Chain A
Amino acid sequence: MNIKADFPSLVEEIDYGTPQSKAQKQVTLNVDGRSITVPEGTSIMRAAMEGGVEIPKLCATDMLDSFGSCRVCLVEIEGRGGTPASCTTPVGEGMIVRTQTERLDAIRRGVMELYVSDHPTGWNEKAGTGASEFDAVAKSIGLTENRYGIEGRNHVKPEGGVAPGHGSLAVDYIARDESNPYFTYDASQCIVCSRCVRACEEVQGTFALTIEGRGFESRVSAGMHEAFIDSECVSCGACVQACPTDALREKAVLAKGLPERSAVTTCAYCGVGCSFKAEVKGDEVIRMMPYKEGKANHGHSCVKGRFAYGYATHKDRILSPMIREKVTDPWREVSWEEAIAHTAKEFRRIQYQYGRTAIGGITSSRCTNEETYLVQKMVRQGFRNNNVDTCARVCHSPTGYGLGQTYGTSAGTQDFDSVDYTDVAVIIGANPASAHPVFASRLKKRLRQGAKLVVLDPRRTEMVKSAHIEADYHLPLKPGTNVAVLTALAHVIVTEGLFNEAFIRERCDWTEFQDWASFVALPENSPETVGKLSGVDPELIRGAARLYATGGNGAIYYGLGVTEHSQGSTTVMAIANLAMATGNIGRPGVGVNPLRGQNNVQGSCDMGSFPHELPGYRHISGEAVRDIYESLWGVKLDDEPGLRIPNMLDAAVDGSFKGIYIQGEDILQSDPDTKHVAAGLAAMECVVVHDLFLNETANYAHVFLPGSTFLEKDGTFTNAERRINMVRKVLEPKARYADWEATQELARAIGLDWNYQHPSQIMDEIAMTTPSFAGVSFELLDRVGSVQWPCNEKAPLGTPIMHIDGFVRGKGKFIRTEYVATDERTGPRFPLLLTTGRILSQYNVGAQTRRTDNSMWHSEDRLEIHPHDAENRGLRDGDWVRLTSRSGETTLRALITDRVSPGVVYTTFHHPDTQANVITTDFSDWATNCPEYKVTAVQVGASNGPSEWQRDYDEQARNSRRIAKLEAAE
């Protein structure tokens, strides 16, 4: 296939120069003879562009507020003196504007001549791309001469050829900053327009850049005149995107040249689901540019989506299918045909020998909706059982259950734009600054506008305090006490009469509310009692509850710190109760918003990945639902739910479960109690791993099928706001098949009559069988960009905000949330509580990000420990420590910090050598089996190196990854 025919050129976006005005009132003006009508408050620059008249500009871009420093965008306005800047001058009714006159030409040329006199353009051709906005403006105003010469004091490098200033005056030159792995900063090309500084402040909210000095010495500085890598910079790329010259430029573009074609696609990292233009040259991605039309990110990005795509071409990628008899054998590379035939034969044999339910499959939250749908379809139609589960089991399954019970849908209630209307944000068990950075930037922007913030987290995260952000209330609760603290918040709301009676009477069941209210009002749920067991000052609980209930639009955002507990589902219900009790549901600015960890965790749940549910969260026991699929697929479906991942592993250890197809998930590294997972996998006879890399699970695999990256396939991802975004192929699959094609080959080999030519046909089948997706098609998504489900005849363009006129389930349901302490308790042997999380530059088990330069920021997992606990144990910062729990032990290096409270330790789980899940227990959520990652009783002590398990594991992993070299011909 010739992809060039599909994407003939670069997707170009119009830069209107200043942000859109949200005013209702319209104003009509005349620009260069054209009549243009725009909302009041629009700048002349933007109005002109909307009317098709482009005014030259350098310091203006529509991602940023106007600034008025470059003096290139000047215009003349009839009846006004002078030449005002069009970016800072708002339109007026009847205004007559001229953008091109002799006077304006002369001024613009004079300004550009001054810029050029201190700029390498035209002197050192290698300085930049020659295709920057600056170059374009110089060209458009027809700059032919430079009266000021290039001999004066300047910032240009004094070597090679006739440099401006002949070297002697070029004292202001500073060397290019190459410290960031992804972009360079070359001060000699900088025109000090401040776009980068403003992007870092207004868009990203990090404030890592400034203009240092004044006058001719003014320069962009990262931190306190530091190298970018050492500064506060988080490498989100907003400054690079904003730079109108080549002063800040992607290294890939400088090294490989400008991209030739691009397609709009969706990031494959977290659940924010940012839209990007994947820009390609030849068969290589040159850069990922955030797409302004993207409804989740509005043109912003983070270090992962923007830069960390190098894993797609990493040498570790396996491009050939492989098989082996025993996991102790080296791998043997085989053809796709052989691998597929072998797998089908093995699965058939196992089912014949051990029974129909002896095999199953795991769908991936990293793959597309279409791919996920096919895996569960293959299990139900082909394996003829319901043994399908997904990695959402270990993250957000309690969200599905809790919100399903209380509201009637297993998803968040809002879109991300809702945050612009929030007055009080409550973040529970989430650190969006690290795990959902683009959303964090949007939230921070709202907080800088004056919204209030409550954070419930054992750690003092970046959201609690960072530049220009400070939580009004931080409740540093002990891990495992979420339910108690949330119920205490409800106690305050009920006993102080802060609930919204009108809302509750109209939308919820009043009797259920009364029952719940009498429960939360019990003295054992008071902040004073809960304070003792959670370690939170009762006054903080009271203050936070009052703020949420009375502070205007209250929105709750939560993450895995809520779900990954033995009472995960209860916590989700407690959150749902709070929102209902305060009437914070069903309009912009409020709601209950789970922050999804992975790009398509929402979608994989939607697509029927759970053993008890068909697509659209319809229980497998429902006859009407089974009928739909039985008649379409031509088989009888099992009406009993199948096995969940932990049950599959238990059954494997017991000997009744023998084969598994795992698409894009590394259960050995990401699931709890690594030793148990390893034992389960080791007991199986055919483990098929379908992945980009030989991941940790593949150490126990018999068949390896090479996967495809998101750049190599078409499809859709569904983000945390239920938004179905397009994924578009920009490269051919490196290993021949996109993942959906590989699954289809396997399904055919086990006898299914599948014949999908394109993922759009799979989406058509999903739409045909699933009411909440009824209106979705690739054609619609191409036309409107994205939609949020439900999308059907009632909501043809999707549903940004749910439960507007009433709850999906009818009446909102209040459920009692009794606090039951986890069985995982501290004691003399294990006196500390371990909780886990993420860091900005790394993603999940790190399979992708560890294979990029992102490791420059985080090359190992560290154990955060409070100075008090460290001192008691004689530990210094950077020491190797042994971390022991009832399940196992591992070693890592300590990081001493008061971000964590005494008694609490914290680590990330991005690196396989850390083996953090050797430590975690097999306790899990009572309703959904979601593992209790966030609470483990541990002991920490000095150590001098890796644990025995880590050494054994390393040895086993090394052995297992061997690929047999083909014998050389004699």
Chain B
Amino acid sequence: MGLLSKKDAKLITDPLADNNPITIQVLGICSALAITAQLKASIVMSLSVLFVMGVGNVVISLIRNIIPSKIRIIVQLTVVAALVIIVDQVLKAYAYSLSKELSVFIGLIITNCIIMGRFEAFALANGPWRSFLDGIGNALGYAVILVIVGFFRELLGSGTLLGIKVLGDPIEKTGLYALGYENNGFMLLSPMALIVVGIIIWVQRSRNKDLIED
């Protein structure tokens, strides 16, 4: 990372592990539970959030000195909503099939608390470049957890990864299924996502005791 100073690089690397938005800051849990039944959906959501976080943090940071503090949350919400709607419209016009794929995520991005959380906690107090890095860093931290959860939920719940049957065919009884293995339908339901996130938090905190609060 010769391009970035040490302090700036930390903005990207911290959220990936020791200051992860999902497991440490506990932001963005709702979408992590809702859309991780498949790996593909997790990846698409991660990329969408990456884009909105990067751009949104810069916009908020640029106007941070003129935002009236009393209505700052509303201003932030308006910026996210406007950004997301414009992107949605442009995709509908020029990349229609992609926009069909993203349809349901559009609404989920606006309500994603990571975005509002980082606007409020970081972009309002820092310059555009650092805010951009913070946005990208947190979106990547979010993506890491989403992909891990999506990976296990799809693998154990459906026996597939990105729609490819990696464990054999459950109906034809080939591969692992020939040995009597069964998919765990529970994994497809949101409560199991919470348990998977919980396990990640547990593993992370037992490896780094500094993260444990009293």
Whether chain B is bound by chain A comes out as no
By a beta-carbon cutoff of 8 Å, the part of chain B in contact with chain A is none
Query: Which A residues are within 8 Å of any B CB, using their own CB?
Result: none
